[in-house]
Structure 1
Amino acid sequence: MAKIALACTILPDSPPARLIEWSRAAEDAGFSGVFMTEANNDSLACALALGLHTKRIKLGTAITNIYLRHPNLLANEAAAVQEFTGGRFILGLGTGHRESNSALGIEMGIPLTRMRETVKTLRAALEGGKTGPRVSAKLPLYLAGVSRPMVKLAGEIGDGVIFNFFPPARVKEALGELSEGAQIGGRDVKQIEAALFATAFISDDLEAARRPARKLLSRYGALKFYGNMMAHSGFEREIAAIRAAGRDGDAAVKAVSNELIDATLLVGSEARVRERLHDLCAPGIGTAIVFTNPVNEDRNAAVMRTIRALKQG
């Protein structure tokens, strides 16, 4: 069975004090880690804060956008989080969405090349004792992998990979790509962890849970890399309809099928979510990073429900 980690982010209904409460509750419930997303917040600063208020649980980012910081600054930030938390940090790296980066005036160039260069710089600084503070233990670097080339790159140079919205069939395929990358890098694929970011909508009312799930997938299906991945995974019709809808949000939402929802998200009752999580992780996922969106209740109640439902040990 995969290890379970909690995912958090900063939102109006998720202030810093609440994130600390959730992290402590997750730690008490036997979760393996708590990961910070990065959307209008600083993932590393938040991970550091959560680490200072917990004792055992791993701290991670899922993900930190490599375009928002110079690699030398990122190396020093990551080293600080690692040392202040007693060596419990995992730095998850991603390229963000081209749409969001472009809105910030960021020219991405070739993301695969930029990721390779960033990891090279980070490793040289972290492992060469060039950061302040120096790290006293290895700091794992995980790569967010959606496209095949990025998954292979994670196998070649990363300590782990983070998938998102991957159906089980895509997970199996991606694990093969991870192995190919490991062979290119002359590495043992068993030493590279595959993690899955899984978004949950928990409710005994399945249709009520599917409504916000449908809206979420209508947005992500419109994005280039996620849409391409879902289309390749057997949902060509849905993605084509989402893209054809353009700015018609209602039409995009209607294009999301129940099959797409069930293949990519955790939706339904607590028992159904546990079953789906097992199915999603069965192909070979080491850690499931679960992010909860509320269904007809406030976010605090929804997150605490998730922690209780997925309690470990």
Structure 2
Amino acid sequence: MSRWGLTVPLTGLPLAEHREIIESLPGLGYTDAWSAETNGTDAFTPLALASQWAPQLRLGTAIVPVYTRGPALLAQQAATLADLAPGRFTLGIGTSSDTIVERWNGLAFDEPYKRTRDTLRFLRRALAGEKVKEEYDTFAVKGFKLETAPASPPPVVLAALRPGMLRLAAREADGAITNWLAPKDVPTVRGELGDDPELIARLFVCPTADAAEARAIGRWMIAAYMTVPVYRAFHEWLGRGEALRPMNEAWAAGDRKKALEVIPDEVVDDLIVHGSPDACRARIREYVDQGLTTPVLAIVPSGGLSHAEAVRVLSPSAG
């Protein structure tokens, strides 16, 4: 297997306490560290630290919203990481969700496809060192130029959950990032993206042989994500609309308890990697066999394992 990534920072572990774990990753067979940006750390700071703690790792954001920073600031932060990790940084951008953009940041979640496309086109030029003066459909840039452009402009990959964005990623980006899917869903995604672009996916991994524990955790996570419109539409496209309909109806009615109860075991087992560490690694390899380029493990605390133990037992070297 060529790539094996880890989501950083690890849930429940302060960022300042990550150094030893991140330093250990290359020796365990991990090739990548990918950050995210929701309501915890920002996406760039953990990678800035990782760039110094483990210079062998490829680093990536999965993802940075295109709305919550101005285009120029986004280019500056990407250029900074590209300078800290030359040739080893990949910028992942995407729409994020209406919850993060509108409810938490007070910004309009308008024309997400166009905003992503315009940001991608701007970043291509800015990170190449061009002076950008352009009226895009969703914003205008009037004469921005990076003071120091990266010697090696970073690849830009797009968060893409459905056909339109996947096709945009295939045409204009360097790959796509997806999320919340089963191995059997990978060919559906590949059908729109094509066989050649890199396909990255964050996989939620719960290393416990206690299926009841894993499913209880998984139900909370699925309810939190799948009731968000972008993920609801994604799973309708993937064919889980009917299976998730009772959850969505209960959630809309304000009955959170029932919403959790009516999520089928099969859906949890599809979307959450769980079982013994050996079973989890085998399941991750199923994704790769179906066409996933880069699995990125998001370790869900479970089974009484410490963070360091979970990272070790789920590593390629453990199998």
CA gap of 1:201–1:222, structure 2 versus 1, over 3 A, is same
Aligned-pair distance for 1:96?
Answer: 1.0
Q: Which amino acid aligns with 1:204?
A: A
1:218 aligns with 2:217: no
Return the alpha-carbon distance in structure 2 between the equivalents of residues 24 and 113 of structure 1. Answer: 39
Counterpart of 1:278 (choices 279, 282, 285) is: 285
Mapped contact 1:32–1:57 kept (Cα < 8 A): yes
Counterpart of 2:270 (choices 251, 263, 267) is: 263
Counterpart of 2:301 (choices 294, 298, 302) is: 294
Counterpart of 1:198 (choices 187, 200, 203) is: 203
1:163 aligns with 2:164: no
Counterpart of 1:139 (choices 154, 157, 160) is: 154
Q: CA RMSD in A?
A: 1.9
Mapped contact 1:222–1:239 kept (Cα < 8 A): no
Structure 2 residue aligned with 1:253 = 260
The Cα offsets for residues 180-232 of structure 1, whole Å up to 9 and x where unpaired, read as xxxxxxxxx52x20111101111121221221011111121211121222233
Mapped contact 1:143–1:158 kept (Cα < 8 A): yes
Does the residue aligned with 1:68 lie in a helix, a strand or coil?
coil
Q: Which amino acid aligns with 2:151?
A: S
CA gap of 1:307–1:140, structure 2 versus 1, over 3 A, is farther
Mapped contact 2:47–2:59 kept (Cα < 8 A): yes
Return the alpha-carbon distance in structure 2 between the equivalents of residues 254 and 220 of structure 1. Answer: 16
Aligned-pair distance for 1:303?
Answer: 5.2
Does the residue aligned with 2:316 lie in a helix, a strand or coil?
coil
Return the alpha-carbon distance in structure 2 between the equivalents of residues 265 and 2 of structure 1. Answer: 22
Aligned length: 300
Structure 2 residue aligned with 1:108 = 109
Mapped contact 2:206–2:299 kept (Cα < 8 A): yes
Return the alpha-carbon distance in structure 2 between the equivalents of residues 264 and 2 of structure 1. Answer: 23
Point out where structure 2 has 5 or more consecutive residues left out of the alignment.
131-144
Q: Which amino acid aligns with 2:199?
A: A
Q: Which amino acid aligns with 1:51?
A: S
Structure 1 residue aligned with 2:93 = 93
Return the alpha-carbon distance in structure 2 between the equivalents of residues 167 and 91 of structure 1. Answer: 24
Runs of 4+ in structure 1 over 6 Å off: none
Mapped contact 2:8–2:46 kept (Cα < 8 A): no
1:20 aligns with 2:19: yes
Structure 2 residue aligned with 1:29 = 28
1:231 aligns with 2:236: yes
Mapped contact 1:142–1:159 kept (Cα < 8 A): yes
Aligned-pair distance for 1:2?
Answer: 5.2
Return the alpha-carbon distance in structure 1 between the equivalents of residues 308 and 166 of structure 2. Answer: 30
Q: Name the one with the larger helix percent.
A: 1
Point out where structure 1 has 5 or more consecutive residues left out of the alignment.
180-188
Counterpart of 2:192 (choices 173, 177, 181) is: 177
Given the two structures, how large is their TM-score scaled by the length of structure 1?
Answer: 0.90
Given the two structures, how large is their TM-score scaled by the length of structure 2?
Answer: 0.88
Mapped contact 2:162–2:237 kept (Cα < 8 A): no
Return the alpha-carbon distance in structure 2 between the equivalents of residues 77 and 49 of structure 1. Answer: 14
1:58 aligns with 2:58: yes
Identity of aligned residues (%): 25
Structure 2 residue aligned with 1:182 = none
Return the alpha-carbon distance in structure 1 between the equivalents of residues 115 and 313 of structure 2. Answer: 40
Return the alpha-carbon distance in structure 1 between the equivalents of residues 101 and 153 of structure 2. Answer: 30
Which stretch has the larger CA shift, 14-23 or 24-33?
Answer: 14-23
The Cα offsets for residues 109-147 of structure 1, whole Å up to 9 and x where unpaired, read as 110100010011101111135423321113011111112
Q: Which amino acid aligns with 2:94?
A: G
Return the alpha-carbon distance in structure 2 between the equivalents of residues 226 and 160 of structure 1. Answer: 20
